[in-house]
Structure 1
Amino acid sequence: MGKTSCLPSLICFLILFFIPSSTSSSFVRGVHPLDYKYFDSKVIKCKDGSNSFTKDRFNDDFCDCVDGTDEPGTSACPRGKFYCRNLGSRPHFLFSSRVNDHICDCCDGSDEFDGVTYCPNTCIMGGNIEYKTEIHQASNIILKKESKSYGRFDMIHNIKDLKVLTLLQLITLLLGALYLFYRRAKSKKCRNHL
């Protein structure tokens, strides 16, 4: 009886212990991980020095900075840049005007979060679904130059994320095995009582 009542506690402990550690990075939509700390204060300066804004005005769909610093996760600023994390594929930047434009530009679908367009995560399957339009090709060429400086960090970051995913899969398998063991022990106990 003692072993079977410990199983739910063990499952809860594993879930509470491992899941928060996998999501511990302070994810900010549209922002490169190297810039997370930049946006981690109450008052944030625009990167071009033109203005400053409070944290509650970040990604509020109103452009406070000429360079789009305050709106990387929306399409409010014409000069803004959105960072596609693309876990399992190559991360890149795109113009924030392409956020929620009903075209899946990021292979992880993070640029289409308004719920109107469904973007399946195709990163693990080999990357972005390419759209053959001149506008998208031209903006990718311009933004590719800017994203090269982050390449080494992204590779290390992706490896860490893949390790976390692998760990979560192993935990899921372990929990499944424990559940099957629990069910088998319970059914044996029921058979013994008959």
Structure 2
Amino acid sequence: MMAQFMEETENVKMDVHGIVHNRKIINLKRSRIVADSDGDYFLCDDGIRISNSKLNDDYCDCDDGSDEPDTEACSGISYFECHVRFKKFKIPSGWVNDGICDCCDGSDERDAKSKDLIHLSLTVQKKMNHFLSPCPNTCPK
């Protein structure tokens, strides 16, 4: 599987072999177009696969709205800002208090109800490189 980041284009995509393909995709800056044995598809920011034909079709197929960068279809999606040192990055608001630590400082899980969540040892969480609430601070020092 080969993920490829596209810069702004107008209806064309060059694959890893230098072959140009016509696409419905317009101006998908830094989007994830993936090609594997199942064909080409778009990888949403949250890891969900969707058909390339669903890009910029005025419908939010990805929970995070990443499939609609050139439409207003997903403009109602709100985000939570994680802070890492002097940088900020956004996660979909639906990821807040879901029991999974998305921000390295755990700020997205401050109000999570840990009693309702699956409990895994910290050792297992470290091996998976995914942490559950209550979140340890894994930010770089």
Using structure 2 for the length normalisation, give the TM-score. Answer: 0.36
Richer in helix (by share) = 1
Higher Rg of the two aligned structures: 1
Length-normalised TM-score, structure 1: 0.28
